[in-house]
Amino acid sequence: MQPLSILALHGPNLNLLGQREPGIYGALTLAEINRLLDEEGFKLQAKVFSVQSNHEGILVDTIHAALGQHHGILINAGAYTHTSVALRDAIAGVNLPTVEVHLSNIYRREDFRHHSYIAPVAIGQISGFGGQSYLLGLQALVNHLREARLIVQERRD
């Protein structure tokens, strides 16, 4: 089976993981999360390419560049989840299967965090499981992509 290519996007302030509000976001650093994604990707026969930026335009450009390069997107847009129509439109524009993840349960937090501009253009959302949210999201995305490949293959046969 050909390895899948997954873009893991980390939004603003996620570079501070491990030191920023560990009671909410946990003790794992972004480097540790990326290492766990690489290890899980290897098990799933998927290569994970991780990018973090605090700048919305860089995230949009990275999503655009994913077209033709990656099979799917795993995204924690951070605060941009609740504010960025631009990220939502970029994801819709490239039409790559996308899973939204969050370390904390955004629905148990402040009201403004309950709305996601990403969710309507994602195939699913996982939140509240700390670093495990990323791994669950990666597993779900890879399973979705493999099922889609099987359906395409069956139609060809």
What domains can you pick out in the chain, each with its CATH number? 4-156 (3.40.50.9100)
How much is the pLDDT for 104?
81
Q: Which of 10, 70, 71, 102 is catalytic?
A: 102
pTM: 0.91
How much is the pLDDT for 155?
67
82 among annotated binding-site residues: yes
113 among annotated binding-site residues: yes
**DSSP codes, 37-84:** HHHHHHHTTEEEEEEE-S-HHHHHHHHHHHTTT-SEEEEE-GGGGGT-
Residue range 75-94: mean pLDDT, rounded: 96
Helix (H) or strand (E) holding 124: strand 124-127
* Lowest mean pLDDT segment, chosen from 20-29, 32-41, 79-88: 20-29
Give 125's Cβ-side CA count (13 Å radius): 19
117-130 confidence digits (pLDDT tens): 999 999 999 999 99
- The pLDDT of residue 2 is above 90: no
Is 102 among the catalytic positions?
yes
Q: Which of 25, 80, 117, 134 is catalytic?
A: 25
102-111 confidence digits (pLDDT tens): 998 787 777 7
**DSSP codes, 93-121:** HHT--EEEEESS-GGGS-GGGG--SSGGG
How much is the pLDDT for 154?
63
103 among annotated binding-site residues: yes
Q: How far is CA 18 from the centre of its chain?
A: 19
Helix (H) or strand (E) holding 8: strand 4-10
* Angle in degrees, 0-180, between the axes of helices 30-43 and 132-156, rounded to the nearest 10: 30
